Structure 1
Amino acid sequence: MKLGPKAAVTALTLSTALAMTACGGAGGGTAGSASARPTATSLTLGANQDVRSWDPAQAHVGHALQPYQAVYDTLILREPNGKLSPMLATEWKYNDTNTKLTVDLRTDVTFSDGAKFDAEAAKANLDHFKKANGPQMAQLASVSDVAVVDADTIDINLSSAEPALEYFLSQAAGLMGSPTALGSEAIKTEPAGSGPYVMDKSASVKDSQTVFNAREGYWNKDLQKYQKMTFKILADLTARTNALVSGQVDATLLDPKNGKQAEGAKMKLATNQVDWSGLLLLDRDGTKNPALANVKVRQAINYAFDRKTILDQVMLGQGTPTSQPFGKDSGAWTEELENYYSYDPDKARQLLKESGFENNVTLEVPTLPGSETLISVLQQQLADVGITLKPGAAINNTFIADVAAQKYGAMFFNLFQGEPTVAIDQIVSTKALFNPFKNTTPELEEKIQAVRDGGDDAGKLAQEVNKYVVEQAWFAPLFRVNQMYYHNDKVNVTPQIQQAVPSIYNYSPAK
């Protein structure tokens, strides 16, 4: 079954701590010669965490998505400028009400275990993703069912329009694993996908390194540029810096301070703005912290911060101060909200007095590794207006479950500034991971629904959602940070809009 191509929307990835970049110049719809072998020997990347499970339904976003791309193709490929292009899906088209997406699939793809990719396999993956309770299961929350039309066509039926669905099919929800392995114990430790590489299990060591070899007969050699790809797990920033400078890794993500050392060693910088950093004031109904239910308390927290000084002193000026959680490329950003909360400690104290919580507000927050200095500065500035900030234990591999379980009433974090519905479903809607207390109001729900139904006007309509959460001080954004991704001269790296860590397709051997 053949379809006219659907005009791709510009959409953005979700992040946990930092987001990731996508494809560098390789169109996903054209297969290369299956007999050719990649000419470059190897690529070694510094990663800040290991994969917990190789089940594709357990894939996350940001840094955590990148390793999955080595072994799993997605239905749709996201290119550097945000355009969505064919990958395992060749064409796709919505019905008139945008409640059914018909997807035409490749017919020449197999998985590493020999299983064939077809409509049944695609359906099995999407069904599994919905049921597996993975960290990004909300990506398919609007999918009511998936129907096999014929051997190479599926219909994805929606309970309501989801403007970001095509984007999600280029991310975690679009990863395709072998239908014979889905749900098995084996796939948790050894992936079975149709991607350009296969895991070398004998050379891989949990929480140390994961090694992949180029897969024989991969359908698109244009995306397979190396014979071997290795992810070295280096959670510590200093360790990543030393590994890059010493040649142990070819590319990795650093911060402004460590970036100075990399620059001194003649490393190259690929940078863009992806995330906003700040406090997430999660318990807005006061379930565990009654003070946070008072909007004046939340506003006082925002007025307490000297964003420009914090940025200059802690981040060496690498970013842009902001009061809004939506980024410029989303369409939801507005100039009037950029400095909505100026630095005004007197106003903060007055708001606290009016709230009845003067000198009686305590925020307990987990510690985001690498943010200790920044948190100490926030602690001092909040103390200046009478608010106590108590840093707790470091965020670890269980933090997603901890957030969902309402363990944190507030937290400091870096979050992706994405396309309107992606960002809404990450931080605002009642199904958002970073709205664990399910805070909402009828007014906000109406604004969110307008965005979902808004089509090409979604970005502009999302300005009202942005304005609402800023005025109600759902968050205390500090700044949009510059991502500092460094690489040596052996590799070319193509940055991608709104993503920090490149997709594996973004790397190519330097000429």
Structure 2
Amino acid sequence: MKLGPKAAAAALIVSAALALTACGGGATGANPAAAKTTTLTLGTVQEIRSWDPAQAHVGHILQPYQAAYDSLLLRQPDGKLSPMLATAWKYNDTNTKLTLDLRTDVTFSDGAKFDAEAAKANLDHFKTANGPQMAQLTAVTGVTVVDADTIELNLTTPDPSLEFYLSQAAGLMGSPKALGTEAIKTEPVGSGPYVMDKAATVKDSQSVFTARKDYWNKDLQKFQKVTFKTLTDLTARTNALVSGQVDATLLDPKTGKQAEGAKMTLAANQVDWQGLLLMDRDGAKNAPLGNVKVRQAINYAFDRKTILEQVLLGQGTPTSQPFGKESGAWTEELENYYSYDPAKAKQLLKEAGYETGVTLEVPSVPGFETQLAVVKQQLADVGITLNVGSALTNTFTSDIAAQKFTTMYFSLFQGEPWVAINQIVSTKALYNAFKNTTPELQAKIDAVQTGGKDAGKLAQEVNKYVVEQAWFAPMFRVNQMYYHNSKVTVTPQIQQAVPSIYNYAPAS
């Protein structure tokens, strides 16, 4: 990333970029005067448990934090990174030191100044606060203050996903005076475009924010008030949207029909893939899974298109690869690598010595009951028995890490290549609980880590390896069904189920 100007020119670049994003990438937005009379109400799927920026999550949960906190880098709807609190950034030749130039005209809502010391305080706090995304800064050994508006992030090894993380949870900046206090858990103190209205905020019900008067970039403030209504129940979200209680929310293919009947607009976006994780690839607990032909047979057993139509009303794209189109690791040749071929599945089982059958044990995953029923039937058609056990609980991540499950049906995020590799492929990945690897695969992973701007292309080789070796049995990429009314324009955010807060604007 090339270094650029630090002052007026950068401010103009940032203002233009953010204004474009907030207006929906070219959609007509409100002028600043009109924005002061508008409100935005969003139906969210989960309550924020702590407003400490170090406790921020990603996915559905990142959006509310963006109201209160700016991030170091801004991620545009198409995934490109732009300046925000950092005006420019650059790696050294070995990609082990990232230098960031910072804005000099920003304050937090408590009056504290944003500068290099404040940025360091936040990054240090993030690394030690035991938040859900603390692994985002695993490669960062320390932060050095170079001068009042420059910091250096020192890395043990290159991390191709670090810039992405600085636009996510790790990049959120809170007031250094508030970090680590009890107060910030219930009331955020950031430099963002909105401040919390404590009187109107109700725990487990709604969080209300108003436009900050002295915010540094007025182009972001498209609304006078933003309300996040916590609606964990899908039916409740649907009813709230149709009745006008919320302007936008996340639904699913079935409830989406009701929304469309009420003239709501769909902003579809493919973020996750669904399918089987065949995690015991060395056969440590389930011997047949150690045979690649068995794993390949599982893949050939599925009529992905039919399953998609039956379960999700066609809202998605059948696929054989776990890396998404936007990641850079996706390739056309792997999209339909495993066609529906039950005869070939049976032949592969015979060649592997399992002609008499294979048994797979999977946990029940709430919300995926229909998928599991169809998967169970299609596997049975080729001689594979799928036993569905007890439901996943809130300890499922520790259960996965403890190798409780050899196989599971799940939905996983298709992120940037290095993010995805460290989620599902590398020996550090949660969803590679059995630490499966080979020298060939590790060499491909190492190439991605040190590949710099070529990381996405190099990750195609990792993708090809895990598809050919049938580490997974992907079914389809799922359409995220995000609906909104005619009062607002909404631009989907790449690789996010819900848009960033900057992607909304008044419709007129």
- TM (norm. structure 2) is 0.89
* 185 and 404 in structure 1: CA distance in 2 versus 1, 3 angstrom threshold: farther
Of the candidates 88, 105, 109, which is equivalent to residue 91 of structure 1?
Answer: 88
Residue 476, structure 1, aligned to residue 473, structure 2: yes
Deviations 1:161-210 (A, max 9, x none): 22222111101111112222323333333322221222334433333322
Equivalence for 2:462: 465
CA contact (8 A) 1:299 1:351 kept: yes
Report the alpha carbon displacement of residue 318 of structure 1 after superposing the two structures with TM: 1.8
2:221 & 2:393 partners in 1: Cα distance?
A: 33
Equivalence for 2:170: 173
Report the alpha carbon displacement of residue 401 of structure 1 after superposing the two structures with TM: 4.7
Deviations 1:277-318 (A, max 9, x none): 112223334455444333333222212211011112222222
* 89 and 246 in structure 1: CA distance in 2 versus 1, 3 angstrom threshold: same
Equivalence for 1:130: 127
Amino acid paired to 1:342: S
2:178 & 2:402 partners in 1: Cα distance?
A: 30
Report the alpha carbon displacement of residue 46 of structure 1 after superposing the two structures with TM: 1.3
Larger mean Cα displacement after TM superposition, 85-94 or 206-215 = 206-215
Equivalence for 1:18: none
**Equivalence map 1:71-110=2 (5 Å):** 71-110=68-107
**Equivalence map 1:182-261=2 (5 Å):** 182-261=179-258
Of the candidates 365, 370, 377, which is equivalent to residue 363 of structure 2?
Answer: 365
2:351 & 2:428 partners in 1: Cα distance?
A: 33
Of the candidates 291, 295, 312, which is equivalent to residue 292 of structure 2?
Answer: 295
Larger mean Cα displacement after TM superposition, 49-58 or 439-448 = 49-58
1:367 & 1:267 partners in 2: Cα distance?
A: 30
Residue 139, structure 1, aligned to residue 136, structure 2: yes
Equivalence for 1:4: 4
* 136 and 239 in structure 1: CA distance in 2 versus 1, 3 angstrom threshold: same
Please state whether the residue corresponding to 1:320 is helix, strand or coil: strand
Report the alpha carbon displacement of residue 254 of structure 1 after superposing the two structures with TM: 1.5
Please state whether the residue corresponding to 2:22 is helix, strand or coil: coil
Please state whether the residue corresponding to 1:414 is helix, strand or coil: strand
Equivalence for 1:111: 108
* 412 and 137 in structure 1: CA distance in 2 versus 1, 3 angstrom threshold: same
Of the candidates 482, 492, 496, which is equivalent to residue 495 of structure 1?
Answer: 492
Larger mean Cα displacement after TM superposition, 355-364 or 261-270 = 355-364
1:434 & 1:221 partners in 2: Cα distance?
A: 42
Report the alpha carbon displacement of residue 432 of structure 1 after superposing the two structures with TM: 2.5
Q: Kindly, what percent of the aligned residue pairs are identical? A: 77
Equivalence for 1:61: 58
* 400 and 286 in structure 1: CA distance in 2 versus 1, 3 angstrom threshold: same
Amino acid paired to 1:483: Q
2:134 & 2:403 partners in 1: Cα distance?
A: 18
1:149 & 1:386 partners in 2: Cα distance?
A: 64
Larger mean Cα displacement after TM superposition, 429-438 or 330-339 = 429-438
Amino acid paired to 1:121: A
Report the alpha carbon displacement of residue 123 of structure 1 after superposing the two structures with TM: 1.0
Report the alpha carbon displacement of residue 501 of structure 1 after superposing the two structures with TM: 0.8
Of the candidates 356, 381, 386, which is equivalent to residue 389 of structure 1?
Answer: 386
Amino acid paired to 1:476: A
Larger mean Cα displacement after TM superposition, 327-336 or 79-88 = 327-336
2:209 & 2:398 partners in 1: Cα distance?
A: 29
Deviations 1:327-381 (A, max 9, x none): 2232322222111212222333343444455434122223143x32222211222
Equivalence for 2:281: 284
CA contact (8 A) 1:107 1:152 kept: yes
* 434 and 206 in structure 1: CA distance in 2 versus 1, 3 angstrom threshold: farther
Of the candidates 25, 29, 39, which is equivalent to residue 42 of structure 1?
Answer: 39
Amino acid paired to 1:197: Y
CA contact (8 A) 1:40 1:225 kept: no
* 161 and 225 in structure 1: CA distance in 2 versus 1, 3 angstrom threshold: same
Equivalence for 2:9: none
Mind listing any 5+ residue stretches in structure 2 that lack a counterpart? 7-19, 26-30
* 281 and 122 in structure 1: CA distance in 2 versus 1, 3 angstrom threshold: same
RMSD: 2.6
Amino acid paired to 1:364: V
Please state whether the residue corresponding to 1:423 is helix, strand or coil: helix
CA contact (8 A) 2:35 2:506 kept: no
CA contact (8 A) 2:273 2:411 kept: yes
CA contact (8 A) 1:138 1:431 kept: no
1:310 & 1:415 partners in 2: Cα distance?
A: 18
**Equivalence map 1:258-337=2 (5 Å):** 258-337=255-334
Larger mean Cα displacement after TM superposition, 391-400 or 270-279 = 391-400
2:45 & 2:443 partners in 1: Cα distance?
A: 39
1:204 & 1:388 partners in 2: Cα distance?
A: 50
Please state whether the residue corresponding to 1:500 is helix, strand or coil: coil
Report the alpha carbon displacement of residue 267 of structure 1 after superposing the two structures with TM: 0.5
Report the alpha carbon displacement of residue 223 of structure 1 after superposing the two structures with TM: 1.1
Equivalence for 2:145: 148
* 298 and 263 in structure 1: CA distance in 2 versus 1, 3 angstrom threshold: same
CA contact (8 A) 2:361 2:405 kept: no
Larger mean Cα displacement after TM superposition, 481-490 or 201-210 = 201-210
Amino acid paired to 1:54: W
* 232 and 402 in structure 1: CA distance in 2 versus 1, 3 angstrom threshold: farther
Equivalence for 1:438: 435
1:455 & 1:83 partners in 2: Cα distance?
A: 15
**Equivalence map 1:416-455=2 (5 Å):** 416-455=413-452
1:211 & 1:401 partners in 2: Cα distance?
A: 34
Please state whether the residue corresponding to 2:121 is helix, strand or coil: helix
* 487 and 384 in structure 1: CA distance in 2 versus 1, 3 angstrom threshold: same
2:227 & 2:297 partners in 1: Cα distance?
A: 47
2:5 & 2:409 partners in 1: Cα distance?
A: 41
2:101 & 2:117 partners in 1: Cα distance?
A: 12
CA contact (8 A) 1:5 1:93 kept: no
* 49 and 336 in structure 1: CA distance in 2 versus 1, 3 angstrom threshold: same
* 505 and 319 in structure 1: CA distance in 2 versus 1, 3 angstrom threshold: same
Amino acid paired to 1:230: T
* 148 and 257 in structure 1: CA distance in 2 versus 1, 3 angstrom threshold: same
Amino acid paired to 1:87: M
